[in-house]
Amino acid sequence: MAGWTLGIIGGSGLYDLPGLEDRRVHDIDTPFGAPSGPIVTGRLGDVSLAFLPRHGAGHRISPTGLNSRANIHSLKQLGCTDLLSLSAVGSLAEDLSPGTFVTVGQYIDRTFARESSFFGEGLVAHVSMAEPTCPRLSGYAAQAGRTAGASVVEDVTYLAMEGPQFSTRAESRLYRGWGAQVIGMTGMPEAKLAREAELPYACVGMVTDYDAWREDEAGVEVTDVLAVLSANAAMARDLVAALAGALPEVREASPIDSNLDYAIITAHDARDPAMMAKLDVIAGRALRKG
């Protein structure tokens, strides 16, 4: 088996990844447009990394405005084998206080204004999202967080909302009733697209606030979020370094690496050649296999 090439998608507060050796900057174009910005590649120890700030330099792109298809495509195009998302989240649970790190096990997708699939007319696929994150990578990320000094809670449920506005109190309380534990604006469709791209995906959420559900407390303000993010940014970078140092030298195959073998439903003679060409980076392995 080959080694790891870890794609890092940096969220709010994490716009750079210092310490990379053999650092190179890539301006990538994809069939789905441009990603959020240039991608920086390099090494941390023996692990190759590719870093993409999700919201672009200076945080210029809103959650709804993100071109997640281009972001995932560009990381796959650069040879990433696995993806780690780092993002700010609000807490919907009393025991997940600001400053806590979480790994995501499940999603509830409430987004509605975003392209959520690479596939479409002429080439249809249905990937399983029953287990939307990679347990192997999530486990390594959780341990890396603890190594970095973070308090980490594993396997939480993430409610993905459209934004860019924060929740109303009624919405926040509703989501708690659904069993969601954290809330954010960027987890979807990112996780769905990573699965379609056959990239094992893990999400580490950095809790910044208690959302709007608590009685007799003010709602969320950006200033509150930024204060916690500033404190957490160094720990998030330390988490990435610890993760790179903890990954096994040999990357054993994951079932996610070949999940399109069972997902593409369009008959061979009905597949649109233009769509097949457009999806070569994402699905070429499965399409060439037959």
How do residues 15-69 score in pLDDT, each as one tens digit? 778 889 999 999 999 999 999 999 999 999 899 999 999 999 888 999 999 999 9
Question: Does residue 209 carry a catalytic annotation?
Answer: yes
Neighbours of 49 (CB within 10 A): 26
Cβ neighbors of 257 (< 8 A, separation 6 or more) are 81, 198, 200
Cβ–Cβ under 8 Å, residues 132 and 195: yes
pTM of the entire predicted model:
0.95
Give residue for tokens 């692990």.
Answer: 47
Name the active-site residue from 95, 109, 211, 272.
Answer: 211
Cβ–Cβ under 8 Å, residues 76 and 197: yes
Q: How far apart are CA 83 and CA 77, in angstroms?
A: 13
Question: Does residue 272 carry a catalytic annotation?
Answer: no
For the chain, the maximum distance between any two Cα atoms, rounded to a whole number of angstroms, is: 62
Q: How far apart are CA 250 and CA 252, in angstroms?
A: 6
Name the active-site residue from 16, 155, 209, 257.
Answer: 209
Cβ neighbors of 273 (< 8 A, separation 6 or more) are none
How do residues 122-163 score in pLDDT, each as one tens digit? 999 999 999 999 999 999 999 999 999 999 999 999 999 999
How do residues 170-191 score in pLDDT, each as one tens digit? 999 999 999 999 999 999 999 9
1 pLDDT more than 60: no
Full set of structural domains in the chain with CATH: 5-289 (3.40.50.1580)
| Averaged pLDDT for residues 266-288 | 97
- Of 195, 179, 185, 51, the C-alpha closest to 137 is 195
How do residues 190-237 score in pLDDT, each as one tens digit? 999 999 999 999 999 999 999 989 887 666 666 677 777 777 888 999
